[in-house]
Structure 1
Amino acid sequence: MRSSLSRRAFLGGSLALGATGLLAACGGGTSNDRPSGREGGSGAWSFTDDTGNTVSLDRRPTRIAGLNDAIASLWNYGIVPVASFGYTALADDVNFEGKDTSEVTEVGTTYGQIDIEALAAQRPDVIVTHAYPVDSSGKLDPKKPLYGFNDLDQQKLVGEIAPIVAIAMAGSATGVVDRTVELAKSLGVTDDDLAGPKKEYEAARDRLREVARKGLTVMAVAAYPSDGVHIAKAQDDPALRSYVELGLSYPDPGGSEYYWQSVSWENISDYRTDVVLYSLRAMDGDAMLDQPTFAQLPAAKAGQVYPWEFSSMDYVAQARTIDNLAENLERARKVT
């Protein structure tokens, strides 16, 4: 994890103070004796993940465990997990709202803390997670643990329970969504299952593309009373990057650091946009408006300060998030 603000911690995970700064981000139930939503295939199964690792099994996996973010996407396609781990409890994760999580075994509700024995007891066939790049090129570092694991030793122990499959959170969200679909289809999800969610996803993208024609400039931030404002670089965040591809404008805040440009409250007035999106895991819009310098920004004066949502990388969750963003921007106006 980086010693500066981790992007995933900001987007949806717990935040903790480290020694040098902020550290890192449909279906029915299942039980110990039932597979996770799909019948296993009789033939062999193979999937090459985004680290280049090929996982091969004698049959298609049915008992799926993994990182909250990854299993949320599979669940939206009808694959119910047997176990979860991540940065928070499922009940506190917006990606699981409306789902009956009572029969999913939570083997970790704090980042990097996984009950290995509890995970093994669920007998997963495969464990899914994400891999985050280390710089703007999208490079993955094999010497660093995959997302959700405290270190490589813990990752190795988990990998001895079941093979690990990782989807990279790099490039545009459209690519991450597509790769997640590929994984879901390998696990038995059909084109018929995907047709409705994909249609809603494309409709949401069309809606955002239309509102982007207004020419609004947008800034996505994580703000803290004593730490100032961290401005996200759209090209380094898959979701923001996909919005730029649809025509939305996120001005480059500058700076050489990956993902963030950190700005003091005194200097935030130099960053003027029509809209500001605030992290749901940092200061909310009202708290930011209490900061005198922020309150003088054009977006703040116009009341155009809205939530920045993180959602899992699938048709269902992305459609919801994009629709929410489009709805907010539809009522915003140019003020710069």
Structure 2
Amino acid sequence: MREDFTTARAWLERIQALPIEHPVAVMNVCGGHERSLTQLGLRGVLPSNVKLIPGPGCPVCVCPEEDLADAIALALSGQVTLVAFGDMLRVPINAPKGEVRSLAEARAKGADVRPISSPQEAVALAAKSEKPVVFFVAGFETTTAPVAAMLAQGVPENLSVLLAARLTWPAVDALLRDPEARLDALIAPGHVAAVMGANEWGFVAEKYHLPVAVAGFSANSLLAALYSVLRQTLAGKPFLDNCYAELVAPEGNKRAQALLAEVMDVTDANWRGIGVIPRSGFALRAEWRRHDARERFEFSTLPRRHAGEMPPGCDCAAVVLGKKQPDQCRLYGKACTPQNPVGPCMVSDEGACHIWWQGGTRAAA
């Protein structure tokens, strides 16, 4: 169905009519939101005082380097077929020159590495394979819930999961606690809210007294959410607004939440370039550990430099935290491009650097 841009134009006119006298910094948490905002060219038509800031909503960008290194090492061992969502294959680790830096390079060296687009593909592959299959999972709640459903429904015994999954809201909570964070409002991710519920984002208004609105990915929904948080800012009365009510319920998808609770524990977890965030990760519960790759396999150690960090000179962590815009990175468009990514933000189509480059933004002079 084609979008009704007449409605979008009406929302834009309402935003432009607001008496915004001072700069307002609005973080859009979701990588999908950033992609829509850029493709639609919304930054160029909003009032100059409204600054849209990309946030930590790219799972590829924050996947711990040590988990990537483990996945690469396991693939290179020749013991398994390793499958992962396509973006993960090109994410580099900090390996010395001449060493394997990504799953794609491991595949080029002969490792059995395959991109997939759904958990069902991993199950189907394992069902017809005599070889162990390891599903390397990096993602947020929307990715993790289908993986939980996959395990709950039963999988072949030769299928294991190497889990690097994260929850979204704890990263935002940690970001807002940072005294350096200078945000005035937040656009919450519609796809995560569809699973976990719009109400999960109420803490932004209640705890931090910031306007917050859940948005979808259309121009209409995004502009409605922007209008809402700007109106709240001007009124000085922050609250949670759901501007994606057609797909997001206040309490979310109860079945998906039940599957997550059945299969996963919530744990402290590391975020690449950011550090450990309390209760921000998923781990398999005890009854599912027989499908945990870490319980089944020995992992060798790959040669690495600056282990666990972003690559030298890469500002991906600052971009993810909203402290820098992509084109303020020292490597953006110079050493780091989508064809030759240095940092993870330039790899994924949910990474802000990749999105800005594809949208036509080149390196700052």
Normalised by the length of structure 1, the TM-score is: 0.31
Normalised by the length of structure 2, the TM-score is: 0.29
Q: Counting helix residues as a fraction of each chain, which structure ranks higher?
A: 2
Greater relative contact order structure (CA < 8 Å, 6+ sep): 2
